[in-house]
Chains A and B, each alone.
Chain A
Amino acid sequence: MATFIVKRFFQFIPVLLGISILVFFLLHLIPGDPALTLLGQDATKEDLERLRNVLGLNEPLYIQLMVFLKNLFQGDLGISIFQDTPVITLISTHLPATLELAVVAMIIALLIAIPLGIISAVKQFSWLDYGSMFFAQIGVSMPVFWMGLLLIIGFSVNLNILPSFGRGEPLLDAFVQTIQTGNLFYLVDSLQHIILPAFTLGVMSAALITRMVRSAMLEVLKEDYIRTAEAKGVRGIVVIMKHAFRNALIPVVTIVGLQFGNLLGGAIVTETVFAWPGIGRLVITAISQRDFPVVQGCVLMIALIFALINLIVDILYAIINPKIQQG
């Protein structure tokens, strides 16, 4: 297992390097000038030229790339052109918010999807099955921003029970504070803030995972060993959970892994609607300002997370199905 992990880890390096170079060229090829965005429409040609020199934008592209890569290998992601703050600081303040949102969204998605998926497979063609599939269809089709706004209008404006925007204390900090002080306020406040954005973000994944669990379960339930188990007199719930569900998990884990990556990307819209201070909004703002160092740093970081998730999924495969590791 250890060699497997180390080997996979080294495979990251060319991937990340490739992504860095690709993003670098894409950013520099699209029209738009950071100097103009920074200095605004009133700027004179001389001012723009001076700023481009300061930012190194007048150097040939290959020199700019060399400088970028040299700094990257030294662990330096550069300084934001607009916010005058090191990119690594910006990432470290925004990434945890997105990760927290994605993790809670995934938990919500799994809590919805696994029971629904299993029930709809076991009770195939029943109203429960149709109901679950109807939910899945709605979840997949509904645009995230629309669902977000509906939830805000329902729970914040009309019922007035949940905040309409923003992030409370980071969930982990709130948890620690609650334990230390014995006051539930911190935890409740933090949860109240995260519940709507996390639900909005998670519901689409929930829909996809529900369908995946259902079809994987349906396939497994037709296997001979299920019939054998049932014939042996094993209790229904044990057959479903131990014999069927565990074997149905492999495709589910794949989709969960992929979905987690999508949650990080999909968080951009959710973050904008709920004013969640995460990395998605940071990237979008940086792209619209042509803040090259921030975009490069964030994309690199997201790529790294994607690669890590893939690694975790591979390890999980090996745990669920030992045959994979042996092979």
Chain B
Amino acid sequence: MNKKSWFSILFVMMFIFSAFLAGCSYEKPASNNTGSAGSDDGDAGAARDEIKVGLDVDAGTMDPRLSKDTSAKRVSELVYDGLIRLSANLEPEPGLAEKWESPDPTTWVFTLREDVTFHDGEPFTAEDVKYTFDSLIDPDFQAPYASLYEPIKSVEVVDDYQVKFTLKEPSAPLLSYLDIGIVPKHIGEKNDNTLSNNPIGTGPYKMVKWDKNSKISFEANDKYWGGSPKTNKLTYFIIPDNSTRVASLESGDIDIVHSPLSPQDIKRIKENDQFEVIETEGLGFTYLNFNQKHPILSDLKVRQAIAHLVNKEIISSDIYQGMDTPGKSPLIPASWAYDESISGFSYDPAKAAALFKEAGWEDSDGDSILDKDGEKLKITLSTHSEDPNRMQAVEYLQNEFTKNGVETEVKTSEWPTFSTGLTEGNFDIALVGWLNLVDPDRSFYNPFHTNGGSNYGKYSNATVDELIEKGRTTLEQAERKSFYQEAAKIVTEEVAYDVLLYQGYIAMYNKNLKGFTEHPAGSFYGLKDAEITN
């Protein structure tokens, strides 16, 4: 066949194809499951029966017992119910458990709801509760948060709708951790990882499809014991780039986004009256962790002097644009134990200089770096590279410290490298944060107790240990509050941490999304009562 015939065939085929395309119709299918996040939102007039959410990362696993990332939690909140649910001021409220009582400090008896079924139609009973917690405390199950449930000695089924927890010792914070999703025993005990990819819970939404790294689709559970959700379809779209996520909100491709967000974008959206911006106190703080074993930083006066060189107001207003507020102590404002009277260290270079001098550090050779016995005052400030605001903060601090005679080197590395250095105690001062502090025990036991799992700076103080232990085992909230406030005063004064910022939690949504209630933990459970209006 010569070239000319090839051309003729090609031409005829193109003609037929164009004719075919010209003859095609263009209409949106009734059930559009193409994954379109396009801006055409169905028929004009009728409100869309779908809420589109923008998430920053995909969930790692859908099994609530194994999950540790925030996205997995966002799935869990919709698909599963816990025995309890935490209210906006972090008080336990009934969930799958209608009520609970504690006949003695080491026993908890939960009475369960009788009208609950799993998404596959199987009834929910006490056996499922026992199975969930037995697996959580089983060392071979490798649950990331197993340590939270460590006080549980055993879980017994009293009858179908009553379950008894026996504890090794009294544990006040445990109740706050019982919001973890209850998984169905009949599926979980097959041990085939089904729940990791296909969650079956009792929650207001059922997961329909999970396109990894792309989107997670949910459908309303009409039989939900708490009343069927207002909107039938809900989709989480995974949009890793903060700026794209906000642009997608602006273009109407998604309806709601939440922290983490770039401070600059928040400012822009606030000025646009098409959107609602909700700022609440989050459940986390950002802090400088001082290595107490470091030859220079082991001196309390040096730590205090450095704390006086930290201008938290500037970091909050200029780097975080006011999204996160200046921190004071490890007790967060959202907590019932918050103590306003603890003020932390104010920015005061003169006081810092005086403290350095008391500790024997002076600039004897005129190179504007402090020294003592021929040794220069030199420290390394480290953080992780995933968070541009934290990188800016350490650079700002480097400048501030160096200006005041502390030779400061900045070291930023990506999270796995940084966190390995942190756990190995391989750092001088590290800028890092804690999240999800639903109970003060989480802000204190692991970080500050001599035997705490994440006491990276090796801080140790017998009085603090005792206060933290008492806080853990005392059930009366008022008493616990005093223990934690006392401990907070000491660790702040001794600069175990210098709490830089209280993290804010921000949700931004289109004003046509009505009925959504936010939560300091950023819970999306409130989406069950939300709907899109015109």
Contacts of A42 in B (CB 8 A): 144-145, 147-148, 446, 453-454
Contact among A45, A145, A166, A288 with B416 in the assembled complex (CB-CB below 8 Å): A288
Q: Mark A6-49, 1 if CB is under 8 A from B, else 0.
A: 00000000000000000000000011111011111111111100
| Pair B212/A83 contact, Cβ less than 8 Å | yes
**Residues of B221-266 contacting chain A, CB below 8 A:** 237-241, 243-245, 247-248, 250-253
Contacts of B197 in A (CB 8 A): 84-85
**Partner-contacting stretch, out of B25-33, B334-342, B402-410, B503-511:** B25-33
Shortest B269–chain A CB gap in Å is 12
Bound together, the chains give a CA A82 to CA B63 distance in angstroms of 12
| Pair A166/B27 contact, Cβ less than 8 Å | no
**Residues of B411-434 contacting chain A, CB below 8 A:** 413-417, 419-423
Query: CB of A140 within 8 A of chain B?
Result: no
| Pair B420/A164 contact, Cβ less than 8 Å | no
Contacts of B245 in A (CB 8 A): 165
What is the number of contacts between chain A and chain B, taking CB atoms within 8 Å? 185
| Pair A32/B212 contact, Cβ less than 8 Å | no
Bound together, the chains give a CA A83 to CA B318 distance in angstroms of 38
Give 17 pairs: A residue, B residue, CB < 8 Å, sorted on A: A31-B420, A40-B144, A41-B454, A42-B145, A43-B147, A84-B61, A85-B212, A90-B212, A93-B211, A164-B248, A165-B239, A166-B237, A168-B36, A169-B34, A184-B24, A189-B36, A273-B244
| Pair B144/A39 contact, Cβ less than 8 Å | yes
Contacts of B145 in A (CB 8 A): 40, 42
| Pair A275/B214 contact, Cβ less than 8 Å | yes
Known A31-B416, A93-B212, A145-B241; further 9 A-B contacts with Cβ < 8 A:
A41-B419, A83-B61, A152-B248, A164-B248, A178-B24, A185-B34, A189-B34, A193-B36, A277-B211
What residues make up the interface of B, taking CB atoms closer than 8 Å to A? 20-21, 23-29, 34-39, 57-58, 60-61, 68, 139-140, 142, 144-148, 193, 196-197, 211-215, 237-241, 243-245, 247-248, 250-253, 386, 413-417, 419-423, 446, 453-454
Contacts of A93 in B (CB 8 A): 211-212
Shortest A181–chain B CB gap in Å is 8
Contacts of B21 in A (CB 8 A): 184
* A42-B144, A186-B34 as given contacts; A164 in contact with B419, CB under 8 Å: no
| Pair A273/B415 contact, Cβ less than 8 Å | no
Q: Mark A83-118, 1 if CB is under 8 A from B, else 0.
A: 111000010011000000000000000000000000
What residues make up the interface of A, taking CB atoms closer than 8 Å to B? 30-34, 36-47, 50-51, 54, 82-85, 90, 93-94, 145, 148-149, 152-153, 156-157, 160-161, 163-169, 174, 178-179, 182-186, 188-190, 192-193, 272-275, 277, 281-282, 285, 288-290
| Pair A31/B417 contact, Cβ less than 8 Å | yes
Bound together, the chains give a CA A47 to CA B149 distance in angstroms of 14
Report the nearest B residue to A46, measured CB to CB: B139
Contacts of B386 in A (CB 8 A): 288
Contacts of A275 in B (CB 8 A): 214, 237-241, 244
Contacts of B34 in A (CB 8 A): 168-169, 174, 185-186, 189-190
Bound together, the chains give a CA A46 to CA B57 distance in angstroms of 29
| Pair B37/A165 contact, Cβ less than 8 Å | yes
Shortest A57–chain B CB gap in Å is 13
Bound together, the chains give a CA A157 to CA B250 distance in angstroms of 6
Shortest A62–chain B CB gap in Å is 22
Contacts of A164 in B (CB 8 A): 37, 244, 247-248, 251, 253
Contacts of A182 in B (CB 8 A): 23-25
Contact among B38, B250, B251, B417 with A192 in the assembled complex (CB-CB below 8 Å): B38
| Pair B214/A277 contact, Cβ less than 8 Å | yes
Report the nearest A residue to B38, measured CB to CB: A163
| Pair A288/B35 contact, Cβ less than 8 Å | no
Report the nearest B residue to A192, measured CB to CB: B38
| Pair A189/B38 contact, Cβ less than 8 Å | yes
Contact among B28, B248, B453 with A43 in the assembled complex (CB-CB below 8 Å): B453
Contacts of A33 in B (CB 8 A): 416, 420
Shortest B201–chain A CB gap in Å is 18
Contacts of B57 in A (CB 8 A): 285
Contacts of B239 in A (CB 8 A): 165-166, 275
Report the nearest A residue to B251, measured CB to CB: A156
Contact among A82, A160, A282 with B251 in the assembled complex (CB-CB below 8 Å): A160
Bound together, the chains give a CA A274 to CA B213 distance in angstroms of 12
| Pair B26/A183 contact, Cβ less than 8 Å | yes
Bound together, the chains give a CA A273 to CA B453 distance in angstroms of 37
Bound together, the chains give a CA A189 to CA B26 distance in angstroms of 10
Contacts of A160 in B (CB 8 A): 39, 251-252
* A43-B147, A83-B61, A84-B193 as given contacts; A185 in contact with B26, CB under 8 Å: yes
Report the nearest A residue to B140, measured CB to CB: A50
Contacts of B146 in A (CB 8 A): 47
* A44-B453, A156-B39, A165-B248 as given contacts; A51 in contact with B142, CB under 8 Å: yes
| Pair A184/B25 contact, Cβ less than 8 Å | yes
Shortest A101–chain B CB gap in Å is 13
Contact among A84, A273, A282 with B213 in the assembled complex (CB-CB below 8 Å): A282
Bound together, the chains give a CA A277 to CA B422 distance in angstroms of 32
Bound together, the chains give a CA A148 to CA B239 distance in angstroms of 14
| Pair B244/A274 contact, Cβ less than 8 Å | yes
Report the nearest A residue to B442, measured CB to CB: A42
Contact among B60, B215, B241, B251 with A273 in the assembled complex (CB-CB below 8 Å): B241
Bound together, the chains give a CA A42 to CA B416 distance in angstroms of 15
| Pair B247/A156 contact, Cβ less than 8 Å | yes
Contacts of B413 in A (CB 8 A): 31
Shortest B146–chain A CB gap in Å is 7
| Pair A163/B253 contact, Cβ less than 8 Å | yes
* A84-B196, A149-B247 as given contacts; A156 in contact with B253, CB under 8 Å: yes
Contacts of A188 in B (CB 8 A): 26
| Pair A36/B419 contact, Cβ less than 8 Å | yes
Report the nearest B residue to A44, measured CB to CB: B453
| Pair A149/B24 contact, Cβ less than 8 Å | no
Contacts of A183 in B (CB 8 A): 24-27, 29
Contacts of A274 in B (CB 8 A): 244
Bound together, the chains give a CA A183 to CA B23 distance in angstroms of 9
Shortest B510–chain A CB gap in Å is 13
Contact among B214, B243, B454 with A167 in the assembled complex (CB-CB below 8 Å): B214
Report the nearest B residue to A34, measured CB to CB: B416
Bound together, the chains give a CA A84 to CA B192 distance in angstroms of 11
Report the nearest A residue to B451, measured CB to CB: A44
Contacts of B247 in A (CB 8 A): 149, 152-153, 156-157, 164
Contact among A37, A47, A178, A186 with B419 in the assembled complex (CB-CB below 8 Å): A37
Report the nearest B residue to A90, measured CB to CB: B212
Contact among B24, B415, B454 with A37 in the assembled complex (CB-CB below 8 Å): B415
| Pair B251/A288 contact, Cβ less than 8 Å | no
Bound together, the chains give a CA A75 to CA B35 distance in angstroms of 32
| Pair B421/A44 contact, Cβ less than 8 Å | no
* A42-B147, A83-B212, A165-B248 as given contacts; A289 in contact with B240, CB under 8 Å: no
Contacts of B212 in A (CB 8 A): 83, 85, 90, 93-94, 277
